[in-house]
Chain A
Amino acid sequence: MRLEKHASSLVDYTQPLSFVFNNKAYKGFKGDTLASALVANDVLYYARSFKYGRKRGIIGAGVEEPNALVSLEIGGRYTPNMKATEIMLYDGLSAVSSSNPHSIDFRAMIKPLHRFMPAGFYYKTFIKQKVWSIVEDRLRSLSGFSKAPLVTDEDVYDHIFQHTEVLVIGGGVAGMSAALEVLSGSKVARVILVDERENLGGELTNEFTTDQTATLWFQEAKGKLQKYRDEDNSRLKILTSATAYAWYDHNYIEVLQTHGTGQSMIHESGQTARKVLHKIRTKEVILATGAHERPMLFETNDLANIMLSQSVRRYINEFNVVAGKEIVLYGNNDSIYNTAIDLSKHNIKSKVVDVRASGNESEIILEAKKIGIEVFQGFAVLKAKGKSRVTGVEISQVEMQAKPPHWKSKWRITGDTKTINCDLLATSGGFNPVVHLDCHCGGKTYFDETSQSFLPQKERKERQVCGAVNSVGFWKDAMIDAKNKAQLTLSSLGEEVEVTPQKLTNRSHNYFNVDQFFTPLEILNKPKVFIDLQNDVTTLDVALSIREGYQSIEHIKRYTAMGFGTDQGKTGNINGIAVAAEFLDAPMSEVGTTTFRPAYTGVDFGAMAGREVGDFFDPQRFTTIHDSHVNSGAKFEVVGQWYRPWYYPKNGEDIHQAVNRECRAVRSSLGMMDASTLGKIDIQGKDAREFLSRVYTNAWMKLAPGSCRYGLMCNEKGMIIDDGVSTCINDHHFIMTTTTGGAASVYSTLEMWLQTEWSHLDVHLSSVTDQFSTVAVVGPNARKLMNKLCPDVDFDSKSFKFMQWRPGTVCGVEARIMRISFSGELAYEINIAANYGRFIWDEVAREGQEWNITPYGTESMHVLRAEKGFIIVGQDTDGSMTPMDVNMNWILAKNKPFSYIGRRSFSVSALNSNDRLQLVGLLTKDDQVVLPEGAHIISNKGISIGYVTSSYYSPVLGRSIALAQLKGGLSKMSETVLVKIVQEKQGLKEIPCEVSSSVFYDINGEKVDGNE
């Protein structure tokens, strides 16, 4: 119901807005939240409950709301699980309930069964009966709230890094005061003020109706803040509709900001984005996060139109709406009287039920009585009446029986029950300080008896707490508290301030004078006393958990699901702890809280990803030859971050046809490949040679200038980490090549040895991967082409031998030509300055036409190298393979004076066991069957004894070949083993294979000199 406009309302009646909720059209106004507009339209039901399918209404007015979850918009702008209380209304808004209260679904149908379904029901019922696999799918479809989005998010999200001296979290009276105090007390300290609501002021707006001084203070403070910001926007940033949801190490705090309406916003860097994730690093934090009200507990406390008292108050004051006409307020502290008085200002009658006995009354109670509000002191609500919505309450007189020396006073219900009719019940069981953020990164809480709440630990480095989160409720006191704390912050920043703490007024209607939790067992033992509305957790679930031995609050939480879900128990959790304390007969402080972890509220995946989606997900690296590959119609694969040609299909070939053609060309005439992506490290210095012989397993001292050598690199554990060819330019200058994917980590490892252990060696490393382009010319006719391209080098195999290099001029470009081979064929790698890559590639292609030169990609390269049994580190090895395991004992130098990296490990007995996985070849008995890579080799007992690491069809051999890691494989030559594979239709199949040498082609290496 909409009320008459009044001064403190933020709703603008001159700007009506239309929106759709659950397929029905409604009207609201600018300044409304979706929730307040729906309350104005007398919408009662927002959700069907998670487990029991009960219809649920709205409870809160902000971030604490557990029930009114909606999916906003559709298609590319669809956002699931938003709280209706946090969405600012805009024209044309369209939302549906996350679980529609009006549909008769499976959940609604099982509702009558709910009393047979306590916590743990599904697990106990189905897992023990071994039918879980049958029912799992059905049950999973019932779980969760909104449906996941189906299409790509069409919005853009941004990240902004912020650095500041002081971050004030919470823009209510405490946060505003603290920010002003810091700004006036320091000339340099930068401040960021963050609040989750669209407007500053927090709960202070509730005072505007009754307290003129509050309005005046607010206007003045807001004006001052705006002035600071406008004068120097590096001094103060005000982020509204922005939630600080996580506090990580070293004061790194993440804040998610949205346009209040959920529409796109233009943020401070001038870009448009749906939401902005601020990554804030701050020196000091001032927490002014306020408190959430908690409800009272009674039977069927989940009916629609049972709300929180402070929320009812906010709906009237801020939005001019109220959800009922006959209102009962029920609670254990003075805040319910404020709500009653505010209601009376709108001529709405209410009755107050206060569990506290009469006598010793505060001003506010006297004031309420004076204006004729009917007050039942020493009474409690035992039960809410009504089917799906509240129609009345059963109340009864209660009595507190203090039982010293017992830790907790007990309640007793006395007298008869009577019924009061109502259509709205608003309750307040006290306030839970929002300690979440403070606990994310090591902060502890303690239980405070006066406020009956968990408060943040008093002292913490680089952090202050003030206002309601510090159990200071009265707004003028929050202001004083904030000033006091801001002075401490200033002094911690090194400002010369006089820290002169002012005393709080301690006005009597401090909301934090809360009576003991009203949790008599007569009520807790009734069914349908809900603690956590979002997860349908009742008091009896907690009792069951405790009975079954799950007594730690962390166990109770997980057994019952209390405090899970999108609201993370903001209203229910502390009540749950109180209930557990009652059943356990233990003090609250001993029961303690569950652990608060990030995130405080839901964070969109889109916001986390920011702009790092699509093409920006990962950096993409291209060689200078890339465009030529594209023109040739290459298909690419990503290796590391490089886009490497995978194969070059011609005339509609598939990958197999293309690879067969490419391989045949290389073996019979001439192929060419872009090898620019291999990592290249330039190594210079007097001790370069010594350095290589320390990090590689083989000998380097005698490698002459003009020569190249293959090296295998291990770590100290003796495991292979990389391989590649290094070239001796001169005695003090080498160029090492690494695997494409391993370049960065090898470089980093080499630097580590040089910087941390061998700083006395004269060696300097520089990554030159991007400085050179490499074109490999491969095949028996390679020499003929090289003679044509490079007349100033003698390519005769007697003078330019395998594993040598020569400087030369290729098509007029200065080049280093290495005669090395990864295919077993005669091959030359032409290295030129990177920018000549495309030119040389195209020249090689043109001049090579005579021999039908064929560009080939990584797939053919793999086939060619596998035919020769050359390993690929990372494919045929996995970080647990020694050189012995891959049958490369020949590369382990015996007589190097320095015990090279990994050497000592080779003599450890475990690494010499015959039982290790060893690299072998596998030949399928049916030579046309190509094994899938990763398939396991199984023993006759069906246990894995190894797996296939590389597997291809070899066109030159006309059969399949595979490399595999097999237990004790090197002593199993010619034996038959079984490889288990899954076939698409026929299911599992065992393929017999013969264990063979890993060299399949040109076993004696006769091809490496090519054709003369």
Chain B
Amino acid sequence: MVAGRTSDVVVAMHMSDGLLDAPTVAVFWAVAVVGLAICAARARRELDERTAPMAGLVTAFVFAVQMINFPILPGASGHLLGGALVAVLVGPWVGALCVAVVLVVQALLFADGGLTTLGASIVNMALISTFVGYGVIVALRGLTRRSRGGLVAAAFLAGLVGTVAAALGFVVEYAIGGAAPVDLGTVLGLMVGLHALIGIGEGLITAATVGAVAAIRPDLVYALRGSAPVLELRTTGSTS
């Protein structure tokens, strides 16, 4: 955003080119590609005629909500990353692909985030925030499946923890190959502090969205699969 700020309202929000050195950029592109390939392989098994369109819409929703920067401190804002949200709604494997599509569209069409640093951004936001958020949901499975209130509370925590984890991802990348000689402890403290605040917003948005979808169509919520008392008529021999 620094390089290309315009007078318009929405500013860019992802890592610019030039912040990481070339070897680090290459390493995290490799991690991103391998991670997304694994996700695609697993996603194939889970996508069906209902989850595939749901995943497409979840992708668009994450793009839309990422545009809404909310204030966290005077002079600083935050925006949704979306990892926990997609993990709850469509699962971590499909969900990581949803966030990755958002990041690719943002980088290619909207010049938001550098192309060289896109791999690192995918690692932080599509992989780390999604899988850490999902880890929270799994750890709180008892709460998640007890009631809609439990699901909403777990979604909030997943959003909060996933956001801080994604921020730590940047700190690690910066420690390995940061381009500027800025004190790492300062970067760590600022990233975690700011993203703890942003994580509260992330948690609230995640909880509100998950709560709304669970109220209308609980059968479309991945985290509730196998728990909802949905009666299904199956004929003998049908496996899927």
- Same complex for A and B? Answer no
Chain B interfacial positions (CB closer than 8 Å to A) = none
Chain A interfacial positions (CB closer than 8 Å to B) = none
